[in-house]
Amino acid sequence: MGLGNIIRAELPLGPFDKADFNLFPTLVQVHCFDNHPANDDIVNFIENCKNMSDWPKDVGHGSTSAMHYDPVEKAHGSTNCLDLPEFEKLKRDIENRLVDYTRTVGIAGVELTKSWFNIQEAEGFVAEHRHDLSIVSGAYYPYVDEGSAPIVFRNPISGPKIAERPERNTEFSTDGMEFNPRSGMLVLFPSWLYHRSYYNKTKKRITVSFNTRHLEVCYHDLENPHQFK
Amino acid sequence: MRPPEPQHFAMFPTLVSSWNIKGHPCEKTVIDMIETWEQVGQHRLVKGGESSYLTGNEQFLSDKRVVDLWKTLQSCCDTYCEEAGIDYTLISTSWFNKMSEGATVGAHRHERSVISGAYYPYIADGSNPLVLESPIQQLRMNDCIIKNTNFSTYDQSVPIHSGILVIFPSWLKHYVDPNPSEKRYVISFNTIRHADKGYVRTVKDYRMEDQNGTR
């Protein structure tokens, strides 16, 4: 309370009868990389990758590079696929879009930490999850068959709505929102936002997923530095 | 070549609606009632002010002198529910707070209510706004916020002046910072689902009583 970092909603100028405010929204950004020059190489790399494992049954159904045990690093999922040469151009483009996302939200810049890819075929799915320890996460679809399963975000404020009963689906009452993927689409979202993918009905749905962490914060850039004391 | 602009989806917003009913036929009556009401006292949330909220089952808006105000507020509740896409509600309890200079209202929500409202029949110029707290604040433990935006803000103030009605979900935490003006009157109310009205004896739908000729 009283930190001075309050946004003021503005009433319409002059006489008015009613004004609506859509407060505290969650930003999900969709970028389109149609005909991305690296796409063919990326899809080719992923389809021929040998270091794939099945998701555990409670996590989903499909194959992923995230669970691969690296005998050199002696760890699971140590491969950061966006650091591979085939992904170099895509990585740069994702980093640029992350700048746009963080500026729009008003949070400090981020850098990629971990990235992996998944292949879902018919009946593939990913159970609901969030990306702990990350700031902004993303899903890039280098190739998806038309009609592939959507990514579905759960309404983060459904908990306190226990006292009300939805009468019809609106942006205020909905339990979730889904996005149908298409080849070349990048979706950026806050890592705390629970999401999943439905059962896939197509033959191929390829995803490159990634997490981020904050770059070192420059306190001179803060608009309200006192809030971090 | 510039990349195409991203599509921004401002998802899962919380609806807060504001009406301007300044000059309502009951305005003067309701101000007189507030100024002469005897059942007022201290409330733990209203520091430096007085409140008619004493038992938790106050029915200030059920007074027959302000039934037209009740109907207006109820109509606004109906509109809010339609726009939000939730079941209709019915005003259940109502009370008022009188605040003078320096008075505050601590952060709180209205449990056992669906939507709530705050109607300001009179506030002096310069009175403090109603401040609403972000319901997603607790999810953002990792975020380093460097700029206040509609997406990052933890608090959003809704400006008020005499005659403003604000309706918001009852689960949304809200508060008032120390008030700098000499007089700030607010009538607050809670609601229940309309379908539940049979379970609460004290709740009446005055529109139905008009139709039945029982008032």
**What tens digit of pLDDT does each residue of B15-29 get?**
999 999 999 999 999
- The type of residue at B49 is G
- Residue among B119, B98, B105 at smallest CA distance from B187: B119
* A59: contact with B, CB 8 A cutoff: no
Q: Is the pLDDT of residue A127 over 90?
A: yes
Q: Is the pLDDT of residue A48 over 70?
A: yes
pLDDT at A203: 96
Q: Which residue of A has its CA nearest to B168?
A: A21
pLDDT at A2: 41
Q: Is the pLDDT of residue B50 over 80?
A: yes
pLDDT at A216: 76
Q: In the 8-state DSSP scheme, what is residue A4?
A: S
Residues paired with residue A141 on neighbouring β-strands, in sequence order: A185
Confidence category of residue B211, pLDDT binned at 50, 70, 90: low
Q: Which is higher by pLDDT, A140 or A2?
A: A140
Segment (H or E) for A137? strand A136-144
Confidence category of residue A35, pLDDT binned at 50, 70, 90: confident
Q: Is the pLDDT of residue A3 over 60?
A: no
**Residues of A with CB below 8 A from B12's CB?**
25-26, 155-157, 171, 174, 177
A-contacting residues of B 125-144, CB under 8 Å? 129, 131-132, 134-136, 139-144
Structure tokens at A56: 């555990």
Compute the distance between CA of residue A179 and CA of residue A30 in angstroms, rounded to an integer: 9
* B112: contact with A, CB 8 A cutoff: yes
- Which of B12, B136, B149, B170 should be substituted to probe chain A, the one whose Cβ sees the most A Cβ atoms within 10 Å? B12
Compute the distance between CA of residue B91 and CA of residue B193 in angstroms, rounded to an integer: 9
Compute the distance between CA of residue B71 and CA of residue B61 in angstroms, rounded to an integer: 10
Min Cα separation A107/chain B (Å): 4
Chains A and B form CB pairs within 8 A to the count of 225
pLDDT at A75: 55
Q: 3-state secondary structure string, chain B?
A: CCCCCCEEEEECCEEEEEEECCCCCCHHHHHHHHHHCCCCEEECCEEEEEECCCCCCCEHHHCHHHHHHHHHHHHHHHHHHHHHCECCEEEEEEEEEEEEEEEEEEEECCCCCCEEEEEEEEECCCCCCEEEECCCHHHCCCCCECCCCCCCCCEEEECCCCCEEEEEECCCCEEECCCCCCCEEEEEEEEEEHHHHHHCCCCCCHHHHHHHCCC
Q: How far apart are the first and last CA of chain A?
A: 14
Confidence category of residue A227, pLDDT binned at 50, 70, 90: very low
**What tens digit of pLDDT does each residue of B137-146 get?**
999 999 999 9
Confidence category of residue A92, pLDDT binned at 50, 70, 90: very high
Q: In the 8-state DSSP scheme, what is residue A14?
A: S
**What tens digit of pLDDT does each residue of B143-195 get?**
999 999 999 999 999 989 999 999 999 999 999 999 999 999 999 999 999 99
Q: Is the pLDDT of residue B214 over 70?
A: no
pTM: 0.90
- The type of residue at A149 is A
Average pLDDT value for chain A? 87
**Residues of B with CB below 8 A from A134's CB?**
142
* A113: contact with B, CB 8 A cutoff: no
With an 8 Å Cβ cutoff, are B11 and A221 in contact?
no
pLDDT at B38: 94
pLDDT at B201: 85
With an 8 Å Cβ cutoff, are B146 and A221 in contact?
yes
Which residues, at least 6 apart from A3, have a Cβ–Cβ distance to it below 8 Å?
A: A224, A226, A227, B154, B155
In this structure, are residues B64 and B103 in contact, taking their beta carbons and an 8 Å threshold?
A: no
Average pLDDT value for chain B? 93
With an 8 Å Cβ cutoff, are A29 and B9 in contact?
yes
